Structure 1
Amino acid sequence: MKMKDALKKKGMFVKKLSNQGKLFRKRWEHEFASALSVSQKKKIYMEQFLWHAFSYEKLPCLQGEQAIQAFEQQIKNDCYLLFEHDERVLQLSKCKHLTSADLSKNTNMYLEDLYVVDEDFTWTYVITHESSCGPYFYRT
């Protein structure tokens, strides 16, 4: 089952935003990694994966089970789901019951990196394709 369909079954409104991935990734980088210099970003290969800001420990974040719990406790009214190497973005409304399990079981975790952000980009939850990295939770 596609993620969009699975989330709709949970009562969420899901809207696909076409060709918005690059724009949303730029905003993610601006909102969450603006404290890092261009040279710091180069050294951690952030052009390959935005989540390197966390795996290289350049930004203080929660990891693993702590990240999952922080995400579960967030008030989630409207959120965006974006992907590292994909132009699709999903806009979610009425997603207060969105869980990490909903995302994990509906994502090809070995191929995709998934970023969840609230509508104001004040927090992010990241599931990576690397089993030894993440998930990560970060709040500005």
Structure 2
Amino acid sequence: MMRINSEKFQEFLTSQSVEIVERFDTKTAGQLRSEWKNTFAFGFRVPTGGLFWHVFTYEHAVYITGKQALRRFNEESPVAFVVFPSPSADSTCYYCKAEKMPDFSEYRDDLFVCNRDLDWTMACTHEEGLGPFYSRKEWQT
């Protein structure tokens, strides 16, 4: 499993032809995570030691998974997107641009990608064979 740290992750994004437009500070990253939770996990309490993507495995949010999730993710406009690891891994969030969506398949750590307006999200997990999960804001009730 490749653990995400800021320097290596930035190198990975660059290798995927992703331009890092901005690296959010801790406060902004925290606000973004709160917005993500309010959009995709509203009313869901992450258990102690729990992970954000449990909102999907506990069936709290509407989602698709696996190849279907990757297909929908790759259909999204890559013009601008946000990438952030699970809160326990790193507090960094990146605002990025690319001509095509990056391939996160070699990263086996918790990772979330969304557009800035949180119209959609994709969650990758550290668990082999679990995920990725793709969801849209309008799918949530």
Q: Flag whether TM exceeds 0.5 (same fold).
A: yes
Q: CA deviation at 1:46?
A: 7.8
The 10-residue stretch of structure 1 (114-123 or 23-32) with the greater mean CA deviation from structure 2: 23-32
Distance 1:56 1:121 in 2: 21
Q: Which position in structure 2 is the counterpart of 1:133?
A: 130
User: Is 2:23 the counterpart of 1:23?
Assistant: no
SS of alignment partner, residue 73 of structure 2? helix
- Structure 1 residues 49 and 10: alpha-carbon distance in aligned structure 2, compared to 1, 3 A threshold: closer
TM-score normalised over the length of structure 2: 0.78
Taking the aligned partners of 2:136 and 2:53, their CA distance within structure 1 comes to 14
Match of 1:67 among 66, 69, 90: 69
- What's 2:19 paired with? 13
Q: Deviations over 1:76-122 (max 9, x none)?
A: 211110111221111102x23123x2x233x3x1xx31000112110
CA distance in 2, matches of 1:96, 1:30: 29
Q: How many residues align?
A: 127
What are structure 2's unaligned runs of at least 5 residues? 1-6
Equivalent in 90, 112, 116 of residue 115 of structure 1: 112
1:22-101 to 2 correspondences below 5 Å: 22-34=30-42, 37=43, 41-42=44-45, 45=47, 48-84=50-86, 85=88, 86-93=90-97, 95-99=98-102, 101=103
Quote the Cα distance in structure 2 between the aligned partners of 1:10 and 1:26.
Answer: 28
Q: TM-score, normalised by structure 1?
A: 0.79
State the Cα RMSD in Å: 2.1
CA–CA separation in structure 2 for the residues paired with 1:31 and 1:13: 26
Displacement, 1:126? Answer: 0.6
Q: Percent identity?
A: 23
Q: Which amino acid aligns with 1:7?
A: L
Per-residue CA deviations over 1:45-88 (Å, capped at 9, x if unaligned) read 38721111111112120101111111011112111101112211
Alpha-carbon spacing, 1:61–1:26, altered in 2? closer, same or farther (3 Å): same
